[in-house]
Structure 1
Amino acid sequence: MTPTARREGIPEKDNPKDKRNEEILLSYAKPARRQNVNINERREQAEKNPLEDNWWDDGDQPQGIRLQKVLAQAGVASRRHAEVMIENGRVEVNGRIVNKQGMRVDPNVDVIRVDGVRVNVNEEHEYFVFNKPRGVHTTMSDEEGRPCVGDYLSERVASGQRLFHVGRLDADTEGLLLLTNDGELANRLTHPKYGVTKTYLATVLGEAKGTLTRQLRKGIELDDGIAKADYVQIVDVNQGMSLVRIEIHEGRKHIVRRMFKAAGYPVQRLVRTKVHTVQLGEQKPGTMRALNSSELTALYKAVGM
């Protein structure tokens, strides 16, 4: 399985004179939920309230927090490297490039971008990958007392953290389930308009042949219309069973199982391994991890945020 992509910083050069000119890449910063801002509206706000909203002034005002400190706290880079980014014109505040040191900002109001990507400088939103075990229902609570996703989040719920699942996996399906408190991102990821792809590994009954891949990619008739796979690969065939990788962007109920059944290969086991570029990897069932900045950036780009 391909390991999760990460964006690493470029090591410093040996010559100290060159250090301030080296290129620093984003490492752990979270892109913000809203990548767009009405600059005219922010400009008018700044002109009306110069003391409360000082982003339009490059001077060192007493209000707010120094920009380099905000970038460092967000995990973009160290304060020194953040200063280099500012000096090189790589940082924007509310649509305006900042290249002088000492500017102060309000991280809860101001829109801050590095290399054109908006940085989430507060921790309001959280994003996780959960490996849902087989037999667990995709609900936060179950009236019948059946195992559910909420059972794995009891400590977080008790501490006041509110997370919800992005889409669903049926009880018998295992694998990658995104959890977040970012409603806008969750809605877009599940909306058919954006066609976000999901990848599954299906263990099916029968020895699959090339005709299966062609049939699934061409389209197969279901009771609610034709369903097509974006990509199909026969991974292995052994003793009357086949392992098939399938990628699909539709979200109709039980669609992967229904497609294989209609093709004559009933699913015996189904695992979702990937959503867009976010991969499950070697993560164990029942465990959860936070998305890294590269994964989150890719999801936002996929849904136009």
Structure 2
Amino acid sequence: MKLHKVLAQAGLGSRTDMEQAIAAGRVTVNGEVAHVGQRVAPGDVVRLDGKRVAWQATARRLPRVLAYHKPTGEVVTLDDPENRPTVFRNLPRLRSGKWMAVGRLDINTEGLLLFTDSGELANRLMHPRFGLEREYAVRVLGALSAPERQRLLDGVELEDGPARFSTLEEAGGDGANRWYRVTIAEGRNREVRRLFEAVGHAVSRLIRVRYGAVVLPRGLRRGAFIELPAADVKALLQASGLDSAAPPAPPPRRPRTPRGAGPRPSRPPAPRPARAPMEARPSERRSGGVLPGAGAAAGKAAGAGRPPRGAGARRAAAPSTPASARSARGGNAGSDRTRTGPARNARRSSGRRSG
């Protein structure tokens, strides 16, 4: 496997960045300085700037992808010279590698922003060759005329080359403010704003609502993120031409349940000998603390073989106390049987005399 590809999959940067790091002598393999185009095999020790790279485990798993709801006022950079809040402060920490933003949103733009720990995936998702659409909700001052709409769809010459919208639809609005939904197949700096400004309309609000097949999750608050499930990550890999290298997804982790908060998800218990039915204890009937979907499976597993409520659920009556036990407690019943020796003989002789 190519060394620069291993480093990119480990989330340390793009393939180009890793080739430059190799050329600069910052990468070693088994203690020797690596060269561009070098291949590595399982067991090789790879280090970048002296730090060991866990590339074998990284290469076999699916990349991680986050969907983040960026608010206005945040910048998409690790270190801001003006000390403004950055999007990276709200992301979870990685044991190895780093999060890379898939494209950028300027400080006044909000909405969907993707992050991944795979430099290769990030580069492919951003590359114009793969044509992943970006969809935006745009609020502008004043309604577009028919010629202006057509011009935005046909193409406008900007400072860095021609640009156009793939689709443009009206989305309502009140008074002078009008909303539009637009899609574009690339992500140049402030491209959506510059296109509207080219036809004489200033953008007052801009929200990215979709990137490729990933839609901004409904209900995801600003400044929060969710991690995409394996199925969505595989769809992104396929859209970027990396599906052939996608490994099987690891089994999902079961949510931890607080002690006493309900049955844990487990396999159905092995069959046991039949015994008298009894009601479930309250702790066995609770299902709190299990996430939606997992609670039903946990309830089935913990309740396998349990009789339905009301079907002979009464406790069996306690067995009667043996006579020997009652006599030991000093009861009257059976007291004659406990008298032995002289006491019994004296009673018999007195009975004969009275007869």
Residue number in structure 2 paired with 1:302: 239
Which amino acid letter does the alignment assign opposite residue 170 of structure 2?
Answer: I
Separation (CA, whole Å) in 2 of partners of 1:293 and 1:174: 26
* Greater C-alpha Rg: 2
- CA offset at residue 144 of structure 1? 2.1
Quick check: 1:149 aligned with 2:87?
Answer: yes
Does the alignment pair 1:261 with 2:185? no
Map 1:183-194 → 2, pairs under 5 A: 183-194=119-130
Counterpart of 1:228 in structure 2 is 164
Cα distance in 1 for partners of 2:239, 2:118 equals: 15
Indicate whether 1:276 and 2:212 are aligned. Answer: yes
> 1:213–1:233: 8 Å Cα contact kept in structure 2?
no
User: Deviation string for 1:78-122 (max 9, x for gaps)?
Assistant: xxxxxxxxxxxxxxxxxxxxxxxxxxxxxx68xxxxxxxxxx964
TM, length-normalised to structure 1 = 0.57
Partner deviation per Cα, 1:166-207 (whole Å, 9 max, x = no partner) = 111111110111111111100111112112110011110102
Residue identity in the other structure for 1:280: L
Residue 227 of structure 2: aligned partner:
290
The structure 2 residue matched to 1:140, chosen from 70, 78, 84, is 78
**Separation in 1 of the partners of 2:60 and 2:144?**
50
Give unmatched runs, 5+ long, in structure 2: 1-8, 10-41, 43-55, 243-355
CA contact (8 A) 1:129 1:177 kept: yes
- Aligned residue for 1:238, secondary structure, equals coil
Unaligned residue ranges in structure 1 (runs of 5+): 1-32, 34-51, 53-107, 110-119
**In structure 2, distance between residues paired with 1:144 and 1:166:** 23
When the two structures are aligned, how many residues end up with a matched partner?
188
- Give the equivalent residue in structure 1 for 2:109: 173
Report what 1:129 is aligned to.
Answer: 67
1:141–1:149: 8 Å Cα contact kept in structure 2?
Answer: no
- 1:289 & 1:298 partners in 2: Cα distance? 17
Q: 2-side partners of 1:183 and 1:211: how far apart?
A: 42
Shift of 1:209: 3.8
**Superposition deviation, residue 141 in structure 1:** 2.5
Structure 2 SS opposite 1:237: coil
| Cα drift, residue 269 of structure 1 | 0.5
1:297: how far off?
2.2
Q: CA deviation at 1:295?
A: 2.2
1:237-256 alignment runs, 5 A limit: 237-256=173-192
Q: Is the 8 A contact 1:130 1:288 kept in 2?
A: yes
Paired residue type of 1:208: L
Q: Identity of counterpart residues, as a percentage?
A: 36
- For the Cα contact (< 8 Å) 1:197–1:275, is it kept in 2? yes
Please tell me the residue identity of whatever aligns with 1:245.
R
Greater per-residue strand proportion: 1
Partners of 2:138 and 2:203 within 8 A in 1: yes
Separation in structure 2 between the aligned mates of residue 212 and residue 197 of structure 1, nearest angstrom: 22
Q: Which structure's relative contact order is higher, taking Cα pairs within 8 Å and 6+ residues apart?
A: 1
C-alpha separation between the residues in 2 aligned to 1:218 and 1:267?
20
Amino acid at match of 2:93: R
